[in-house]
Structure formats: C-alpha cells, structure tokens
Structure 1
C-alpha cells in the first residue's frame, strides 16, 4: 500500500494528476516559498503528499511545513526521477533536506540509496534517495530544501490514504495540533493585490474566490503560456471555467498554486 501511495503521489507531482487527488496530493513549491514561514502548510502531515521542488542554480531554498499530533508517525521520503540531469548527479550535488521539529531539533536526510522504483501510472522510473521515519512531537515541523546545482526532487510526506489533505498558503497561524481536524486561520488577499501582480514575472489570479500564484504554471501549461498570462491580475473565474469546465485535471493542478482566500 505504501508504494501505491507514493506512485500516485509521484504521478501528481510530475504530470497532470487525475482527480480527485485524495490523499496523494501534489504540492508544487513556488519560487516565493524560500522559508518554512513563507511556504505552504500541510495541515495534517500524516496524509500522503508529494511535494515538488525544482531549482535552477546552487544555493536556492524552498520550504514548507506540516502539522502533527503527538505520537503520529513522521514518514518522509526523498526521490528523484530516474533521468538526466538528476540521475547523473553525485549525492553531494543533489539538494539537501533538513527537517526541524516543533522544539527546534533538526535532522538532515542522508542520501543512502538509489533504489529503482517503477511508477506504472505514467510508465516512469524513479529513484529513492532517502527514507526517514520517527514518532512525531505535537506541533508544526519545517522542511527546508537547499539546492547544490540545477535539479528537481520530490519529498514524500505522510502515508495515510483515502482522505483529502488540506494545504494552506499565506500568513498562517496554525492552531496547535491537538485533534484530528485542526482549524488554522489564514489571512486573505485583496483584489487590489491581485491586480498589482499582473505580469509573467509575477502572475496572480482570483478564481472562485481564491487567489493563486500562477507564475510557475506559465511555462509548463500544456495549452501554451498565453492561456495563463491572460489571467494575470484578473478575476479569472469565467475564463478558467469556460476553458476547462468541470475537468478535474486542471482543477487539481490549479490547487497546487493556491495562496489563500480572496477577501471581498
């Protein structure tokens, strides 16, 4: 079952995922996610997520957070796709991952393997680099990924299947994780802020009363960059629905770029 969870999660991280994502949610780290405080919060870190981090040069940082209850299992895997350039890089050239617990103690993932993993859904080969498990403390863990050269990695977090996990972006003040359903609060964004981010270099759009940073989607949108740049700085609800209707794949991909709610 664990390999099934990773397989579906990896599919979501590297190609347009099928919907619903269920527990195997892809999360794409944005260029603005340079610290744990700025990065997304996985509200329940026991749910299976595939967090994608791509880098273009050495020294870049991307980060995220995950919430746990005391006694939860902390389950983390570091993986790369089995193709160039990643699979030709030495371990010393691949990004580092540092996990910091709620009390400030840090653990660095040690690359100790290159175990092949065939993902049947997209007929793609991956490599496990590191796997780490421990008993979680109560609170929020931070995950900081630092590049050492151009590369992309996926961090698998959690192993609980069959539930939809929540991902929050923006100024998040999480309630201490003391129940199965935490209720963090998150500040929203104004339409004025959306309108100010109206270029290919910083592209925000409001869709269905939520604000998304679509900057990283411009270059990877299968329908061409123009379809995304036309949404920059606008309420793109009508355009997005008109193009995709109820299609699950674009909606699931869109969710990976969520910043937070639109304040009206």
Structure 2
C-alpha cells in the first residue's frame, strides 16, 4: 500500500473519530486544525502501521496460506479456493511420500491470466533430490483437461522479509477460460514446496476453506526439515490430528 494512501486513510480517521489515550477519550480537533498536522507525523504513523503489519504477515507479492493433509486432490471440493484467481497467493505445504497430493483451486474469467509456479526451499534435502524425488505440479482446467508440468527450471528466488530462499522448478502462464482451475502438487520424496498462483500483488484477498498464514508460520515450515511420514504423524508439523481418510477432525 502506498504511503500517500495510508496518509489519506489515517487523516480520515483522525478527522472523523475521537482519540483515546490512557483510557481517556479526547475530542478530535476541529477540521481546520487537522490540516495543520505535520506530514512528518502522518508519515511516522503510516510507517508504524506498516511495521506492525509486517511483523504479523509476510509482505510483498504473495498472500501466504499453509496447506494441510485435508487439502488433497481426493478432497478437491473442500480444498482452499481463491475467488480472484489473478491475485498472488503462496501455498506452503509438504508431502511425506510418493504420490501424496496437495490441492488448491482458483477462479478466473475468460481473458484473465492464469499463472502458477512450483518452488522448493533452497535447502537440504530438497536441493539434493533427483528428478524422480522432486514434487510435480499438475493443472486441471475448467474443461476437465489435466496437464502435468515438467520441472524445467531451477532459478533462484530470495524472499527478503522472511530471509528465505527458494528454487523455482516449474512455471506456466496462459490466457484463462471462465471457471475453476485446480492446482495440484504431487509428491515424490518427502519435501517442502510452495505452489504460487496469480501475479497481481494485493495485501488481502478472499480465500475459502483456508486462512492467511503469519510470518511465524512460514518460518516454522521453512526451518523444519521434511521426513517420511503419514498424515497425522508427529514428524509432520503441518499434519495435525486426522481421521481415517487423512483429513483433520
């Protein structure tokens, strides 16, 4: 969010509300006095707001969401769904064995851009995986046609806020059809991954069947190595208690 926008919003709040300090409510200054608030003061307040938000959520291109074993291809109808598919989301997850899946859905309108990427942390053991051990990204379009992307890339990506590093394995962009796209990660060896959808940077956007992750969530995911496990296994911190079908209770 641009500083000028924050200044406008904060100025509006100051002009229309009462100021509360140490439990006492003070009347706002007259409108004429509001115009004499120093720009430096508003910039300082805006910077404070940005700092508080940055401490809670990763900023930048993608809205972060943590995936769990509930979010698999067999339970696609209950998987996370982004209502504005052009908005950038980063779905963090892990798979514990070959063939295990994680899935999300995004909605698009004809003519919009469909975009998806698959990344892994630039860490061991992911960086040592051969082609058979790497996760793969599959796309199901609104017509029901499925496409499995090849891992033809290995480009480096650094996320400055969380100080985390990644390798991009696959990426695709195309003109969308109207409807819902399924983005499915298929596991090979035990691994962490990030599935990215959309390219439009937004601070917030609606997502169904999921909630926004914090910086702490992302860092715990990043610093916990993957291990062979099944859903609900204590070695998998993203799994949690599960039922017989591998979904959370």
* Short-chain TM bin: 0.5 to 0.7
Match of residue 106, structure 1, among 138, 146, 152: 146
Deviation, 1:20, is 7.8
CA displacement 1:34-66 (0-9 Å, x = unmatched):
222231111111000001120122221111110
Whether contact under 8 Å (1:47, 1:163) holds in the other structure is no
Deviation, 1:26, is 1.0
Cα RMSD of the aligned pairs, angstroms, is 2.7
Task: Report what 1:246 is aligned to.
Answer: none
In the superposition, the TM-score normalised over structure 1's length comes to 0.56
Q: Which has the larger radius of gyration?
A: 2
Whether contact under 8 Å (1:68, 1:138) holds in the other structure is yes
Tell me the SS of whatever aligns to 1:46: coil
| Cα distance in 2 for residues equivalent to 1:145 and 1:132 | 14
Whether contact under 8 Å (2:68, 2:239) holds in the other structure is no
Match of residue 64, structure 2, among 26, 34, 37: 26
| Cα distance in 2 for residues equivalent to 1:168 and 1:70 | 21
Tell me the SS of whatever aligns to 1:99: strand
- Which stretch of structure 1 is more off in the superposition, 131-140 or 121-130? 121-130
Deviation, 1:85, is 0.8
Match of residue 85, structure 2, among 37, 45, 55: 45
Task: Report what 1:117 is aligned to.
Answer: 157
Task: Report what 1:216 is aligned to.
Answer: 238
- Which stretch of structure 1 is more off in the superposition, 36-45 or 131-140? 36-45
Task: Report what 1:167 is aligned to.
Answer: 207
Tell me: CA distance 1:127–1:93, structure 2 relative to 1, closer, same or farther (3 Å): same
Match of residue 152, structure 1, among 192, 206, 216: 192
Whether contact under 8 Å (1:23, 1:165) holds in the other structure is no
| Cα distance in 2 for residues equivalent to 1:163 and 1:55 | 28
Whether contact under 8 Å (1:22, 1:164) holds in the other structure is no
Task: Report what 1:128 is aligned to.
Answer: 168
Whether contact under 8 Å (2:63, 2:202) holds in the other structure is no
| Cα distance in 2 for residues equivalent to 1:42 and 1:153 | 19
- Higher relative contact order, structure no. (Cα contacts within 8 Å, ≥ 6 residues apart): 2
Task: Report what 1:95 is aligned to.
Answer: 135
Deviation, 1:163, is 4.6
In the superposition, the TM-score normalised over structure 2's length comes to 0.59
| Cα distance in 2 for residues equivalent to 1:217 and 1:78 | 21
Tell me: CA distance 1:217–1:61, structure 2 relative to 1, closer, same or farther (3 Å): closer
Higher strand share: 1
| Cα distance in 2 for residues equivalent to 1:57 and 1:17 | 34
Deviation, 1:118, is 2.4
Tell me: CA distance 1:59–1:69, structure 2 relative to 1, closer, same or farther (3 Å): same
Tell me the SS of whatever aligns to 1:37: helix
Task: Report what 2:37 is aligned to.
Answer: none
Unaligned runs of 5+ in 1: 1-15, 171-200, 203-214, 219-228, 230-258, 260-264
